[in-house]
Amino acid sequence: MMARPVYVTGIGMTPFRKKYDITLSELAQEAVVRALRDAGFDRNRVEAVYSGSAWGGPLLGQRILRDLGMTGVPLVNIENACSSGSTALHQGWAAVAQGMYDAVLVIGSEKLSRFGSGALPLEDDDHEVRLGQVMPAVYAMRAQRYFHEYGGTPADLAQVAVKNRRHAGLNENAQFRDPITVEEVLASRPVADPLTLLMCCPKADGAAALLITSERYRNGRSVEVRTSRLTSGVFEDGIVDTTIDEITVRCAKETYESAGIGPEDVDVAEVHDAFASAEVFYYEALGFCKQGEGLNLVRSGATAIGGRIPVNPSGGLLSKGHPLGATGVAQIVEIVEQLRGEAGARQVEGAKVGLTHCTGGGIAGMDHGACTMHVLVR
C-alpha cells in the first residue's frame, strides 16, 4: 500500500518545570487541550490515541482521556525509555500513513519530580548497572575517549551548554532560562569527569501533544511529517568505538533515504542532548560534520540560531528540560513552530526542513535501546 501524506495539524505543550502540585494526568490533559485548540479540532473526531511515557504506570492514557470525556477510542500506551513519546508519534504516523485513521492524538508525558534528586534508576538485571553504571558516567567516558582521539577540552563542551541556555532564554516553556557562561559551567558541581552539573540535563515534569492527520483534516498551518523512523540498538561484543553513536548513524541513514534528503538539506534540528558531549556526538552521527569535527562546529557558532545549522533552538534537553516521555513530542512542537514561522525571538529564518532525533535508554552491549527520527517539511 502506498503511504499517504501525514501532517501535524495541532500542537500543545506545558512548560517544563518541577510541578509538585499537579498530577501527571493533569499535565497531559493540559497539553491535549492546547493541541486540539491549536488545530481548532473537535475532540470527538479523534479516532485513536497513542500515549508515550517511561514512568507513567499502567493505563496512563486511559487516565488522561477519562477526565477529558474522550473514552472508548482505540488507545495504545507505549514505553520506550526517553523515546517513549517519539515512538508514540511513530506509531500514530504509521497508522495515518497506512489509512487506518484520519485523525489521531499523540501524547508524551512524564513526572520525574517523584524521583527526587540524582540520576534516574536503571534496571539492576543489567550487569553494567550492578557494577555501578549510571548514564552520566557513560557519556563522561565517551567524552574522555573523544578528547583522546580528536582533542578538545571541557571548555568546548561547556560551549554547548552555554549555547542551549541562550536559546532557552528565548523559550517561555524552558525549565532554565537565565544565561550562563563557560566559566560558570566549568565551575558547577562535578558529576563525572569531564561533565559538570550544567553539562547534564535536568529532570522535569511536563507533557506535549500532537494532532496527527491525513489530508482530510489538513489546514493552512499543518506541517508534513515527511518520514518517521524507529530502530533499536544492536548488540556489540568486544571493543567498540564509543566516539561513534552507531544507532544514530544507522537511523539517520534510513531517515535521509526515506525522506529523499541529505543532512545538507536540514535547516533546523532538535537532537537528544541529554549531556553536552552527546550533542557533539550527534552532530557527527547525523552528518552535520565529519567524524572528529563536532567541537569545531560548536566553536564556529554554526549550531547556534543564525548559524549554518541551528541545533536545539528550544534550549534542548540541557536547558528546556527532559521529562522523558514528553521530550520527543516536545521536539516536534518546536520544529512545527519553526516551520510555521511562529517561534518568535528564536525563529530560524527561512526554515523549511526540520529534523528531530530522540534516543532512548542505555543497556549493556548497546549504545542505546532505541532511536527515533522525524523529518518535517513545509
Q: Which residues are catalytic?
A: 82
Q: Which amino acid is at 151?
A: G
User: Cell numbers at residue 260, please?
Assistant: 529523499
Give me the phi and psi of 175, to 5 degrees please. Answer: -70, -45
Contact 162, 168 (CB under 8 A): no
Please report, to the nearest 10 degrees, the dihedral formed by the alpha carbons of residues 179, 168, 230, 23 taken in order. 110
Ramachandran region of residue 344, left (φ > 0), alpha (ψ -120 to 50) or beta? left
- Please tell me the distance from the alpha carbon of residue 83 to that of residue 96, in angstroms, as a whole number: 20
Gap between the terminal Cα atoms of the chain: 24
3-state secondary structure of 376: strand
- The HSE-up count of residue 368 (CA atoms within 13 Å, CB side) is 28
